[in-house]
Amino acid sequence: MAQFMSKVALVTGGASGIGRATVLAFAQHGAKVVVADMDEAGGNETVALARAANTDALFVRTDVSQAAQVQALIAAAVEQFGRIDFALNNAGIAGNQALLADYPEESWDRVIDINLKGVWLCMKYELQQMLKQGGGVIVNTSSTAGQSGSRGVAAYVASKHGVVGLTKAAALEYARKNIRVNAILPGTIHTPLIDTFTGGDDRIMQQFVEAEPIGRLGRPEEAANAVIWLCSDGASFVTGATLAVDGGRLA
């Protein structure tokens, strides 16, 4: 089980959902973990859960859309643990729901800043550290919306398509530097983000369920398992890939 003993994993958006599940999966595999999020209470709770799994853990409050805060996050991780072997760039928001012609500009900017610029900033400084230490693995959280359209959430769709593009570009740029870069494309995973989309409306939730060929929502742990595999030696020849964890939705 402890395939990541002596390794260090960084997870943004680690206070809940896929991020928290991935932190705990890394911990169960023996890695030290760094949890980044704007939600201090949730982030510290994730750290407590990781420590309960007998691993070292650190929380750093981080707004991923701010370069100085991302730099501080990477510096804190390296100061505490000496390196960053794995990174899951997972922080993201749903944004407003409105038709494109009616979409508020300030909402567009916020979604792009967090979901796309935030991933770019995290990769920028993670890559700098990984180059110094001789390698590493980055996984970005895109979405099935990174390969298909969806009505009413144009900013979210655009941001997640952008994450796929960033992933492929970085994978090619650093393929010969012992750094692999991949993305997961979660389908409808039952997380707080989905509750944001549904607004507590059971009918909308049922529509999400019916859209999944497998007939149910995904669990955060199922997305986390994909991240763990992409970071493992079992995926040593995998870079620039987009791995759908979507119950068959894209199919």
Distance in angstroms (rounded) separating the CA atoms of residues 114 and 117: 6
Is 142 within 8 Å of 90 (Cβ atoms)?
A: no
Q: Which two tokens stand for residue 215?
A: 């007939």
pLDDT at 1: 58
* Domains defined for the chain, CATH in brackets: 8-245 (3.40.50.720)
Terminal Cα-to-Cα distance of the chain (whole angstroms) = 32
**Tens of pLDDT along 66-106?**
999 999 999 999 999 999 999 999 999 999 899 999 999 99
H or E segment to which residue 89 belongs: strand 86-89
Is a pLDDT exceeding 70 seen at residue 124? yes
Distance in angstroms (rounded) separating the CA atoms of residues 147 and 70: 27
Averaged pLDDT, 100-118: 97
**Tens of pLDDT along 205-229?**
888 888 889 999 999 999 999 999 9
User: Residue 102: exposed, middle, or buried by beta-carbon count in 10 A (0-12, 13-18, 19+)?
Assistant: exposed
pTM: predicted TM-score of the whole model, two decimal places: 0.95
Q: Which of 92, 90, 73 is nearest to 34 (CA)?
A: 73
**Tens of pLDDT along 58-75?**
999 999 999 999 999 999
Averaged pLDDT, 28-57: 97
**Tens of pLDDT along 233-248?**
999 999 999 999 999 9
Is a pLDDT exceeding 80 seen at residue 119? yes
pLDDT at 202: 81
CB atoms within 10 A of CB 198: 15
Residues taking part in catalysis: 142, 156, 160
The residue assigned the tokens 């999400």 is: 208
